Every structure is written in structure tokens, then in C-alpha cells.
């Protein structure tokens, strides 16, 4: 029996699997020069004049290795050549190439973060070609901030936000809501549902301070409970993010009390999670409706290292609880790179287990289909399709 | 020199080593149908109707791979076939097979958690056959809760609990005490020994609330100091556990101040530890009487992944400080699977080091004997036997 | 194409690279017997009579494997033989051998911790031979404690400490300052610059308590802001350390607010970091002037495991942000072992990536030069030399 007896079919199956990317963003529609491209490659900022280029990082190396060939460049093409070729092809063509190459057939798009003009979900799906479809994820902080911007009395804030959220999720194609509570207050919050009086008092304070960036702990908590009322899956940013984050406050274990209080209600999707993916896995193992992914981390560490991160995430995670997301934002390279990292990383893990006879090939193939596609279809009820046979 | 020159003998030595399982529980004596079996395979709950079976997880895959053959089934037997064969053989035969297959010769049994009827330590050892012996670990919260159940005045609580603990550890076969402080209050507790007045006041409060589940921080702390007075090794649940836990509060680093205050007194055995096993290793490296294991985690991640977890746990841990435990509860599969994971994981680590000439074979064999058996014998004074030559 | 096409040249380049050790200490000048040697091998203490020898640990195994040959002993020589040979050669010869063998050409020496007589930076460089040079790192807590020891009025404390720090860093060869805030108060501190009145009040309290070990949170914070005023890179102990530490309070993520407030000022060098190296990497990825190393951890886990720790540290770290340090203290074995672990661990990572065509060989060689030497030269402005071509 050759060493690749098991790994081969698993790798092929994962390479061919139509993926569901259950959390991503649109891509910028503007043309990007090298500085513009670099600013989108990092969770930090581009630091002009610092001598540190975002290309000189694991994700930069991964882009030059895995994305350059999609633009007809040799592997490891220099950053300047890469940026030049990108400009030459134009954003539309670049986006089409990467989104098609990703093999993603369903995109769940968080539309609540757009400091730059981005593709709509429909545009993203169209750029991916074929039968690709897109669904929308509504960011709850954005709903509340829009309510504040339109003007609202503190005493009506709770009801108006709840109604605005209900309206938002009634829009066609909406499959989930999202909260960035991790950024705004962190997860070490009072788990209880705030009373109407508390919400009014907090709204008075926040609106009085201008009501722009929702960072009041009572109102953030109110949004988490609003999500419970809406009944849709709730995506929660966890762990890895940009300089706006206090990483240790985004450890999802801090949410335990809230998860206990809300057990049996909505699915809770822990996004990213790194470096707290083991903590997230523990929550997914002990709470029925908790799920996780290691999106964002996978393309930042790159396909070569994705296996190690996925292996940690999968140590105790029930196979029905891990999903694929890219969390790509801005550049379609990341929709592609996230998919490559997921496919290759998972194939390496499962293939090695099959080769060592620690896992049957049938089980490996099932785990691949579940995590890459069916778990998301099941949680979000995508297309109304039943689960595939397993 | 072939690649397996070093790994072979180390693997053989570990495969044949009579293990001490320094922390485990009994097995249920009732017959188990598939739902009953599933409910014992997970640290969460079985979630009937959720579409998520505990078999669809790393530990489920490991059971089908490593336990099915012990029941005369092929590797990777389906879950239904597994449950049917288990029922056919009957609990007594199943338990005998797994306990014998584990190669464990000494069991230290935590008798303080028994929501279902379980084997006694003596029954567990008898089922393992041959010269297997069992010792008892007394759970301190259980002692205190029994005192409350019998009725006690707040002002006498401290003295009565201390005396009840002394009586409990005087029973033949008791080698250690255990605390689940991690579950009840977490480790971020005031490290100081509570005064008699504080204990009385806290007891009045707790007893007044019904005195059923001991979760008062002063009284939990009082139990930790009671352990110091008793002079026996104290096992502490750390890290990984069920839905009743706030994982981040079970990080053993939070115990640092208490370990400093109690340095030079009793051995402190940090159980499980994952995902804080590196933090536990740090404590074991800097405090003379702190030890650790990665039990529970090893069978949940499965033998195929145990190597990675053990390798992290061993990064800086003195070799006299790591022990083997299964933390198996309820099903004898886990006594076996924990042993397999420990043997195979450690053999893979040590064998690779020997092959790379990073470790001598004599050292590898010594580390195997220490961690699998002799460290426990030494700490618990098992059998009054001296350490084996090293 | 053979499997070692890429790994070979990378390994050779790293083996030959003249290293900058950007954070280390001197070596003891006294002769060491076995207990003396053992006491320096562990971050804990030697525990005489405990049956646990510091040699029975990963770092002990690594010393016997990688250091014994430098003393003309066979690999894996027994601890007694090792200690005897060391005594036979004498401290001066032993130190010369290890410092030369390390291939380190520039040492940045923290002179602020010397419970035993140690070599000066100049003596350390001289022992390393050839063109090795040494620079000094001034420990700020030592500056403040010296001020207190000389006597100071609380109202003048702030100004006197600032002036003493300015004087200290004006000495020839000083390239950085260091704080052990992680030990003294932990990183969960108020990030704001303390007012003069706050400093006076805190100084009155601390000086009134004797003013020996600086552990007042306001005064520790004052030192961090003093570092900002000095303008030199600030080295911060993070993570892994001795029994005096509360590990969880040394998680560098806790510093996020302070890093945000001081962004754009001084370089902040996070030292050691393990087991929070992923958290440190996140900070280095999102803050322009944050850097990290995994010194101390590398020799304690040993060259055989250094690869795994470095791989985690490098998951998302920009390649301009990782540095090499040994954090060796007391015994020159650790200057050598840290260098071996860094060279071998990084070569294994980069070589495998090159072999898998995930990284070009030119990039691999550049990353090796940057992390082993040029990043430190750049941050500290060593020798006034420009960066080497890349």
C-alpha cells in the first residue's frame, strides 16, 4: 500500500469541493496601486517609510506563491511585478480570476464594514461566475448606529433597534446577523439580558455622547440578545483582528455564561478564533449550538501553515461544528487564498490520518464535505437544500 | 543506521510498560444502549435530534479505530455496529476487555463524582485482571457537601469538615485528595488561608442557601488549605472539562500566588490542563511540588493527535513532573484509549528524538518509565515501593 | 529535484550567519560545581533532595546533547561527567568555547540583574573572541531603585529618575532600555502617563515602605513612559520567566492600550513571549513599532523543539519583526544553545517551505539574515551600519 493511497483521493475531493464561504466581505471596486494593495494585505496598517512591507510577511509570501500564477506570473513573483500585473489586468479581471479560482460557490457576505466602495453580494457572486450565489449577513452594530444617525429617543431606542433589525433581516438573501462585540466591549460582559430601563439609560448616555460608534456595554449586550430574538444564526468576531482590538478580550471562553443563558436558542458562529481556537473548540464541543471557523487566520498564516492551525482547531471539535470562511476583505486574493489554505490544510490532516489508518477514507471524505460545505448549508438553511447524504 | 533504530525499542518499551493511571473514575455498571453510550463519549451532552452525534468527533473516530478491534470488530466499524456489539458482549465483558487491554496496573480512582452507579475502585481493579490494584482519591467538595447534608452549625463547619476530611483519607487505599475548585469558583481566588471567622461567616451564608453545591469562594479556598493540612497530594482539575466550566477560569497560572504560599508543603497535581498545558508546564518547571498530566485531553484528541499535545506539554516540563492519567469516566473505552494515546504519543516523540540523536535511547526509556509509572509511584508512595533504578 | 535542494543552502546559511543576540546577560565568573551549575540551568530553583535534577528536563538533555561536544565530551554525556569536565576546563575556558561556538558577533547585554558576579559586556565580547562586540541594555527598575537607595524626596522622584535614566543611557555602548514590569505589576496596568502628582504620591508610599523592590504600579508605569521620553528601544520581559512571575499577567496582549497610546514613538521589543508568542505576533503584525523574540524559550525547549515554537511565533509575524535573543544568563551554554536552537529551528522551517516550493530560496535566505542579524541592527542602529542588501 503506497503512502498516498489515502491522501490522494482526499486531496482530490477537497480540491474539487464546491465551498461555502460562510463569512466574507466584498472586494474593492477601485483600481489598486501597490500602496493600496499593501494596505489591504495586512490587519495592521501599511507603514510607509518604516521599511516594513506587508509583502514581507507570511501572507505576502503566500500571495506571491499562490496568487501570482492566477495572474499568469511565476510563483514567488516579486511584489512590484505582482502589483504591476494586477494593475495591468484591472480590478474586474483580477477579481473574476481569484473568485473563480477559489471554487467557492456560496458566499455569505458581511455587508456592515465598508470604509471603501465594495462589491455587493450579488456582484461578488457574479464575479465568481457559474452558479455562484451570495447571501447577506447583517451587522447589528451597523443597524444600531444607523438608528442613532436617523435620530431616536432613548426611551424608544430598544424597540426601534429591534424593529430595524427585524426589517434588515427580512431583506431577501439575509441568512445571519453578526456582532463585533469583541471589538467594542470585549466578551467579558454581563451575560444577562438588559432590562428596558437599562437600555434606555444606556441609550441616553450613548446618544448624548454623539451616538456614532456603538461601544456602550449595555447596548452591545442588548444587540446580542436582539440576535437571540431574531432567531437567525449569530456570527461573532472572535480572536484575530486589527489594531482596534484588545485580543485577550476577544477570547470566546469569556462568553461562556452568555452561551449557557442562551443555550437552545440560536446557532452561534465563532469566527476566526485564532489564537483562541482551542477555547472555541471547547465551546463547540460542549454547547450544542456553537460552531467555529479559523477564517482570516488561515490566509494570514498561509496554506503552508494552515494545516497546523486547523489541526489544533480540530483537536476536539465535533466534525459537524467546523466551517470554512475566508473572512476575505477588499482583495479577492484572500477569497482564493483562504480556500486554498482550507483545502490544502484539511487535506494534509485527513490524508495523513487515512494513510496511518487512523481514519477511514469514507470518514475523511465526509468530514471534508461537512466542514467545507454541508455544515454551513445546514446551519444557514442555504437554498432550502437538505443535507447531502453522508 | 535505519530510521527506526531508536523509535522501535522506545515504542516497544512503552507498549509493554505497566502504567499507573493516577487519576480516573469508575465505569458504569449498567448496560448501555447507543444513546447511553453516546452520552458518555462527550464532555458536552448528547444532543438528540441535533444531527450531531458524539461519534462524529475526534474521540468518536478514535473509539471506532482503537476500541472496535478489542470487541472483535474491524477498525472503523460503524457506530451502530459498535453499539450493538457492545450490548451483545455486555458491560462486564466489555469493561474487562478494555481495562485489561489498557495495560494499566494501578488505578487511582476519584470516587467523588457518580451521577450514575459506577464500579468501586476494587471492582475496577478486578475487572482489569491480573495483579492490578486500585487506590482512592477523595474529593474534598464531596466531603464538605456531605457534612452540610448531615447538618452542621456554621461555627463548627471548619472543624467538622477538617475532621471529616481526616477521617476520609484514613480509609485504606486513599492516596490523594482532589478539588474541583476550577469548576466551582475558578482559580482566580484569594490565595490566603481564610480565618476561622471568615469560614464561619461563609458557612452561614452557604448553609443558609441550602448548602448543596459548594461554590462559596471562601469555603472552596478553605478546602484547598484543608488539603495542605492533610499532607496528601492534591489533585486539581485544570483546564478541559464539561459545560459546567468557565474554561478561562481554570487556567492554572491563576493559582500562582497560592502555589507560592503553599510551596514546600503538599504535591499539587494539575490534571488535564489543556489548553493551558504550557502554563501548567511553567508551574511544574518553577515550583518544586507541582506536577501535571494531559489526561482527558489525550483520548478526546485521540491517539493520532496525542503526540502534538504531549509535545507541547513536555516542552519545558521536568521529566519527573509529567504523569499519565486517563481521567476516564463511565466507559472503559477511555481507560484504554487514554493509555493508547499516552503510549503512542510519547513513543512518537521520544522515538523521533532518539532517531535524530537529540536524546539517548537510555534517556528515552527512562523518561518513558518515569512518566508512565514511576513519577506516580513516587508522589503517591504507591505500594511503599522504592523508585525503580534509573 | 532532491528533497534537500532548498533546505541545504538555508541550513548552511543559517549555520554560518554571524548572529546578533539582542538580549542576553553576562556569565558568572566563578567556578561552578554541579549544584551551582544546576541552579543556573533552571528557571525554577535547584531542588536538592527532591529527586528532581535540572538535568532531567528538556534543557538538561539539550545541554548534554549540544554542549557536551564543545567540551570534548561525547553527545549525551552523563550530568556528572559534564559537570566534572566543566570544572576541569575552568570557567574562563568553558565560557570562551561556548561564546565562540555560538557564532554570535554582537551581544546586547542586560546589565541590570546580577545576583552573582558576572562578566561585563566587554568581557563577554572578549570571551567570544574575534570581532565580537557588546552593547548595553539599561534596566529601568534598577535605575529607579538606585535613586531610592541614594535617597530622594518624593516630590523630586520623577525628575531625578528621569535624569538618572538619561545619564544611564548616555554611557557609551548603551543601545536600549529594559523593563521588568511584567514581574513587578504585570501588564494589566493603567496605560496613561501618570501625572507628576500621582508620581509624587506613589513615590512617597514606596519610599516610605523602604523603596527597595520597585513594585508600585504608578512608578512602574512611570518608567514605561520614561522609556518613551528617552527615545531608545524598550525591551519588555513578556511571558516565560521564573517563580517570581505570574505568567498570565505577562501576556503582552494586556499591553494593547499602552501600545496604542505610544504608537509612533519608540520601538517596543517583546522578549521571550512563550506561551503568549502568538499574542505577541499579533501585536507585531498590527503595531508598526512592536517586535518580538522567543528567546529563553528556545533553549529551554531545546533545539529539537525550537522549530515548533518558532513556527508558531512566525505564523503571522512580519519578517522584519522577529529577532534572535538567547536571554542566556549565568552559563555560556545558553548563549550557545540559544543560537543553535534559533539556527536549527529556523533552518528546518524555512528549508521545508523551500522544499515544498512555498517559499523561494532567495526569500528564505533573506528572512534568515533579517531575523538573525539585520532586524536587530536596524532597530538598535548597531554600528551605524546600513542594512545589508536584501
Q: Inter-axis angle of helices A332-355 and A361-369, to 10 degrees? A: 160
Indicate yes or no: CB of C282 within 8 angstroms of CB of A275: yes
SS3 sequence of B327-367: CCCECHHHHHHHHHHHHHHHHHHHHHHHHCCCCCHHHHHHH
In this predicted structure, the answer to whether residue C389 has a pLDDT above a threshold of 60 is no
Reported as a pLDDT band with limits 50, 70 and 90, residue A216 is very high
Average pLDDT over residues A216-229: 98
User: Nearest-CA distance from C285 to chain A in Å?
Assistant: 6
Indicate yes or no: CB of A316 within 8 angstroms of CB of B301: yes
Between A57 and B116, the more confident residue is A57
Q: Quote the CA–CA distance of A370 and A387 in Å, as a whole number.
A: 9
Beta-strand ranges (E) seen in C301-362 are none
**Pick from A312, A316, A358: CB nearest B65:** A358
**Pick from A45, A275, A303: CB nearest C278:** A275
Each residue's pLDDT tens digit, C184-228: 999 999 999 999 999 999 999 999 999 999 999 999 999 999 999
Average per-residue pLDDT for chain A: 95
In this predicted structure, the answer to whether residue A45 has a pLDDT above a threshold of 90 is no
Indicate yes or no: CB of C240 within 8 angstroms of CB of B282: yes
Q: Which three cell numbers stand for residue C9?
A: 543552502
**Pick from C45, C247, C304: CB nearest B282:** C247
Residues B344 and B351 sit within 8 Å (Cβ to Cβ): no
Query: What contacts A352, CB < 8 A, 6 or more positions away?
Result: A7
Q: Quote the CA–CA distance of B220 and B185 in Å, as a whole number.
A: 7
User: Nearest-CA distance from A296 to chain B in Å?
Assistant: 21
Q: Which three cell numbers stand for residue C68?
A: 557536551
Note the ipTM here: 0.96
Average per-residue pLDDT for chain C: 95
Each residue's pLDDT tens digit, C335-382: 999 999 999 999 999 999 999 999 999 999 999 999 999 999 999 999
Q: What is the pLDDT of residue C226?
A: 98
Angular region, B89: left φ>0, alpha ψ -120 to 50, beta rest: alpha
Average pLDDT over residues C287-312: 97
Q: Quote the CA–CA distance of B166 and A227 in Å, as a whole number.
A: 52
User: Nearest-CA distance from C65 to chain A in Å?
Assistant: 28
User: Nearest-CA distance from C60 to chain A in Å?
Assistant: 28
What separation in angstroms does the CA of A113 have from each of A119, A226, A380? 12, 20, 21
Q: Quote the CA–CA distance of C238 and C247 in Å, as a whole number.
A: 9
Residues C244 and C182 sit within 8 Å (Cβ to Cβ): no
Q: What is the pLDDT along chain B (390 residues), one digit of tens a residue?
A: 344 467 899 999 999 999 999 999 999 999 999 999 999 999 888 788 888 899 999 999 999 999 999 999 999 999 999 999 999 999 999 999 999 999 999 999 999 988 889 999 999 999 999 999 999 999 999 999 999 999 999 999 999 999 999 999 999 999 999 999 999 999 999 999 999 999 999 999 999 999 999 999 999 999 999 999 999 999 999 999 999 999 999 999 999 999 999 999 999 999 999 999 999 999 999 999 999 999 999 999 999 999 999 999 999 999 999 999 999 999 999 999 999 999 999 999 999 999 999 999 999 999 999 999 999 999 999 975 444 433
SS3 sequence of chain A: CCCCCCHHHHHHHHHHCCEEEEEECCEECCCCCHHHHHHHHCCCCCECCCCECCCCCHHHHHHHHHHHHHHCCCCCCCHHHHHHHHHHHCHHHHHHHHHHHCCEEEEEEECCCCCCCECCHHHHHHHHCCCCEEEEEEEHHHHHHHHHHHCCCHHHHHHHHHHHHHHHHHCCCEEEEEECHHHHCCCCCCCCCCCHHHHHHHHHHHHHCCCCCCCCHHHHHHHHHHHHHHCCCEEEEECCCCCCCCHHHHCHHHHHHHHHHCCCCCCEEEEECCCCHHHHHHHHHHCCCEEECCCCHHHHHCHHHHHHHHHHHCCCCCCCCECCCCCCCECHHHHHHHHHHHHHHHHHHHHHHHHCCCCCHHHHHHHHHHHHHHHHHHHHCHHHCCCCCC
User: Nearest-CA distance from C126 to chain B in Å?
Assistant: 31
In this predicted structure, the answer to whether residue C81 has a pLDDT above a threshold of 80 is yes
Residues B25 and B113 sit within 8 Å (Cβ to Cβ): yes
In this predicted structure, the answer to whether residue A210 has a pLDDT above a threshold of 60 is yes
Q: Inter-axis angle of helices B154-170 and B196-208, to 10 degrees? A: 100
Give all chains having 3 or more CB-to-CB distances under 8 Å with chain A. Answer: B, C
Residues B323 and B372 sit within 8 Å (Cβ to Cβ): no
Q: What is the pLDDT of residue B5?
A: 63
Residues of A in CB contact (< 8 Å) with C are 42-45, 47, 50-52, 54, 56-59, 61-62, 65, 75-76, 240, 242-243, 245-248, 274-275, 297, 300-305, 308-309
Indicate yes or no: CB of C253 within 8 angstroms of CB of A242: no
Q: Quote the CA–CA distance of B273 and B275 in Å, as a whole number.
A: 6
Residues A40 and A57 sit within 8 Å (Cβ to Cβ): no
SS3 sequence of B89-144: HCHHHHHHHHHHHHCEEEEEEECCCCCCCECCHHHHHHHHCCCCEEEEEEEHHHHH
Each residue's pLDDT tens digit, C259-299: 999 999 999 999 999 999 999 999 999 999 999 999 999 99
Say if pTM beats, i.e. exceeds, 0.90: yes
Reported as a pLDDT band with limits 50, 70 and 90, residue A5 is low
Residues B169 and B233 sit within 8 Å (Cβ to Cβ): no
**Pick from A257, A360, A387: CB nearest B76:** A360
In this predicted structure, the answer to whether residue A385 has a pLDDT above a threshold of 80 is no
Indicate yes or no: CB of A317 within 8 angstroms of CB of B43: no
Q: Quote the CA–CA distance of A231 and A210 in Å, as a whole number.
A: 30
The torsion of the CA quartet C179, C183, C186, C189, rounded to 10 degrees, works out to -40
Average pLDDT over residues A323-337: 98
User: Nearest-CA distance from C300 to chain B in Å?
Assistant: 6
Element (H, E) at B156: helix B154-170
Q: Quote the CA–CA distance of A316 and B275 in Å, as a whole number.
A: 11
Please give the residue of chain A at the shortest CA–CA distance from B64: A359
**How many Cβ pairs within 8 Å bridge chains B and C?**
91
Q: Quote the CA–CA distance of A276 and A250 in Å, as a whole number.
A: 8
Indicate yes or no: CB of A76 within 8 angstroms of CB of C359: yes
Q: What is the pLDDT of residue A47?
A: 85
Element (H, E) at C133: strand C133-139
In this predicted structure, the answer to whether residue A134 has a pLDDT above a threshold of 60 is yes
Q: What is the pLDDT of residue B154?
A: 98
Each residue's pLDDT tens digit, B74-111: 999 999 999 999 999 999 999 999 999 999 999 999 99
Query: What contacts C74, CB < 8 A, 6 or more positions away?
Result: C68
Amino acid at each position: 500500500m503506497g503512502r498516498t493511497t489515502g491522501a490522494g483521493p482526499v486531496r482530490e475531493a477537497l480540491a474539487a469541493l464546491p465551498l461555502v464561504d460562510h463569512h466574507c466581505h466584498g472586494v474593492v471596486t477601485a483600481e489598486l496601486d501597490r500602496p493600496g494593495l499593501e494596505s489591504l494585505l495586512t490587519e495592521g496598517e501599511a507603514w510607509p517609510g518604516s521599511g516594513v512591507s506587508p509583502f514581507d510577511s507570511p501572507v505576502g509570501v503566500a500571495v506571491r506563491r499562490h496568487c501570482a500564477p492566477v495572474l499568469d506570473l511565476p510563483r514567488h513573483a516579486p511584489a512590484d511585478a505582482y502589483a504591476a500585473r494586477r494593475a495591468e489586468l484591472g480590478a474586474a479581471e483580477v477579481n473574476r480570476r481569484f473568485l473563480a479560482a477559489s471554487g467557492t460557490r456560496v458566499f455569505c457576505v458581511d455587508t456592515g464594514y465598508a470604509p471603501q466602495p465594495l462589491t455587493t453580494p450579488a456582484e461578488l457572486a457574479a464575479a465568481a461566475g457559474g452558479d455562484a450565489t451570495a447571501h447577506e449577513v447583517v451587522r447589528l452594530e451597523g443597524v444600531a448606529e444607523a438608528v442613532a444617525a436617523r435620530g431616536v429617543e432613548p426611551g424608544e431606542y430598544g424597540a426601534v433597534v429591534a424593529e430595524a433589525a427585524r426589517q434588515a433581516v427580512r431583506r431577501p438573501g439575509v441568512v445571519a446577523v453578526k456582532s463585533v462585540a469583541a471589538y467594542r466591549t470585549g466578551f467579558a460582559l454581563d451575560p444577562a439580558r438588559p432590562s428596558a430601563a437599562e437600555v434606555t439609560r444606556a441609550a441616553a448616555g450613548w446618544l448624548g455622547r454623539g451616538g456614532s460608534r456603538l461601544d456602550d456595554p449595555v447596548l452591545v449586550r442588548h444587540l446580542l440578545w436582539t440576535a437571540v430574538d431574531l432567531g437567525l444564526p449569530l456570527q461573532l468576531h472572535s480572536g484575530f483582528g486589527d489594531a482596534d482590538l484588545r485580543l485577550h478580550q476577544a477570547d470566546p471562553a469569556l462568553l461562556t455564561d452568555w452561551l449557557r443563558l442562551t443555550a437552545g436558542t440560536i446557532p452561534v458562529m465563532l469566527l476566526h478564533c485564532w489564537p483562541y481556537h482551542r477555547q472555541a473548540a471547547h465551546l463547540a464541543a460542549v454547547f450544542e449550538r456553537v460552531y467555529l471557523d479559523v477564517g482570516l487566520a488561515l490566509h494570514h498564516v498561509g496554506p503552508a501553515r494552515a494545516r497546523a492551525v486547523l489541526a489544533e482547531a480540530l483537536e476536539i471539535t465535533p466534525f459537524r461544528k467546523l466551517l470554512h470562511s475566508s473572512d476575505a476583505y477588499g482583495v479577492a486574493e484572500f477569497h482564493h487564498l483562504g480556500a486554498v489554505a482550507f483545502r490544502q490544510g484539511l487535506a494534509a490532516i485527513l490524508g495523513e490520518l487515512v494513510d496511518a489508518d487512523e481514519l477511514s477514507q469514507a470518514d475523511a471524505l465526509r468530514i471534508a464535505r461537512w466542514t467545507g460545505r454541508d455544515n454551513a448549508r445546514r446551519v444557514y438553511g442555504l437554498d432550502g437544500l437538505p443535507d447531502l447524504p453522508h
